[in-house]
Amino acid sequence: MWHIKVPASTANLGSGFDALGMALALPLECWFSLGDELEIAVRGQGQGIIPETSDNLVWKTADTVHRQAAGEPMPNGRLTIKSRIPLARGLGSSAAAIVAGIMLANTVLPERLSREEMLRIATQLEGHPDNVAAALYGGFVLAFEQAGRVRVLSYPAPELRCLIVIPEYKVSTEEARHVLPSSVPLEDAVFNAQRLALWIDALHRRDWSLLAEAGRDRLHQPYREPLVPGMRDLIDSALSHGASFAALSGSGPTVLALVPSEKVMEVAEALSAAAQRSIPHAVQLHDVTPSYFGAECVLDGWQWHAGQAMGFNTRLEDHVSHKAFS
């Protein structure tokens, strides 16, 4: 039996729209053993909602990858999926499922894919690299495209606690992208570029006093605020009570605060009060940590540890055309 574990992720992190991502210690786990028939069981988040058929995103991704790489369907078996990642809340649930599916196919491929090839495929399936890169590599990532390739720079995640406020309602990625303008004023683009640079400098210096300013954004959060009641109140309350950083997580509606350990209780109380004031729905407040580990297959003799590939360097181009996943 293979055991695959993929972390949740938060993306954008204020100024880093479609570029920054960080893995969170809320896992999606899969257990798979070969068999004559396909059996899928979903537990945890998504139980009763996510299909337990070949339309399941984890399985569909695995089958797509296996067909393209090996020229035949994914072998049948029993797949159990247990997730702690809430759906459509800006915490990378679809990215985790896609990464899990790619890794599932990779467990039975005769020639395994490299991490870089898995990232390329995951980006093409997800549509943008920030969440899938964080899920694959763990820690904190800067993802960007260069000459048609997705590249990732990895950093140790901030040594801060993550308080996440998860509203009961959902915001789809499609809806959240639809509200974004096709162009923005030059001064807003410059504003974000400056603060994205500040984020990276803060990571290098390990100076979390820079994060409140680094997280300010003019490219996506102002446009998404009508979709997320209470967003501004939550962010302002977290920062004013000692959080180092606060922003919308991905496309929302979750709001994430990065908090020094000694300030967790004070910020948590402030977030709870802001949620009661501003959000006309039930919310959950979670205290989690960044995940310093990316996706791993722990029973199959290979894994990634702290963002480092181990055991193989097979390239997809050796056995499948460049057009296979285009």
Question: Average pLDDT of 50-59?
Answer: 96
Query: Is the predicted pLDDT of residue 307 greater than 60, yes or no?
Result: no
**100 vs 111, which has greater pLDDT?**
100
Number of domains in the chain: 2
Encode pLDDT of 249-273 as tens digits. 999 999 999 999 999 999 999 999 9
At residue 280 the predicted structure's pLDDT band, cuts being 50, 70 and 90, is: confident
CA–CA distance, 30 with 79 (Å, rounded to integer): 7
* β pairing state of 161-167 and 283-288: antiparallel
- Do both 10 and 152 map to the same domain? yes
Query: Is the predicted pLDDT of residue 315 greater than 80, yes or no?
Result: no
* Cis before 253? omega within 30: yes
Pick from 258, 270, 303: which is nearest to 20 by CA?
258
Give the structural domain span for 11: 2-156+290-325
pLDDT at 317: 28
- Do both 11 and 149 map to the same domain? yes
- Do both 151 and 165 map to the same domain? no
- Do both 148 and 20 map to the same domain? yes
- Do both 92 and 13 map to the same domain? yes
Residue 234: exposure state from Cβ atoms within 10 A (0-12, 13-18, ≥19): buried
pLDDT at 325: 38
At residue 193 the predicted structure's pLDDT band, cuts being 50, 70 and 90, is: very high
What pTM was computed for the model?
Answer: 0.88
Encode pLDDT of 75-94 as tens digits. 999 999 999 999 989 999 99
CA–CA distance, 126 with 128 (Å, rounded to integer): 6
- Do both 263 and 193 map to the same domain? yes
- Do both 148 and 266 map to the same domain? no
CATH classification of the domain holding 191:
3.30.70.890
CB 7 within 8 A of CB 100: no
Residue 210: exposure state from Cβ atoms within 10 A (0-12, 13-18, ≥19): middle
- Do both 219 and 262 map to the same domain? yes
At residue 299 the predicted structure's pLDDT band, cuts being 50, 70 and 90, is: low
CATH classification of the domain holding 298:
3.30.230.10
- Do both 259 and 169 map to the same domain? yes
Query: Is the predicted pLDDT of residue 322 greater than 80, yes or no?
Result: no
Query: Is the predicted pLDDT of residue 101 greater than 80, yes or no?
Result: yes
- Do both 198 and 131 map to the same domain? no
CB 140 within 8 A of CB 203: yes
Query: Is the predicted pLDDT of residue 231 greater than 90, yes or no?
Result: yes
CA–CA distance, 224 with 212 (Å, rounded to integer): 19
Q: How far is CA 138 from the centre of its chain?
A: 9
Taking CA atoms, 55 is separated from 26, 38, 64, 95, in Å, by: 24, 12, 11, 16
Query: Is the predicted pLDDT of residue 142 greater than 70, yes or no?
Result: yes
Query: Is the predicted pLDDT of residue 145 greater than 50, yes or no?
Result: yes
- Do both 283 and 296 map to the same domain? no
- Do both 206 and 175 map to the same domain? yes
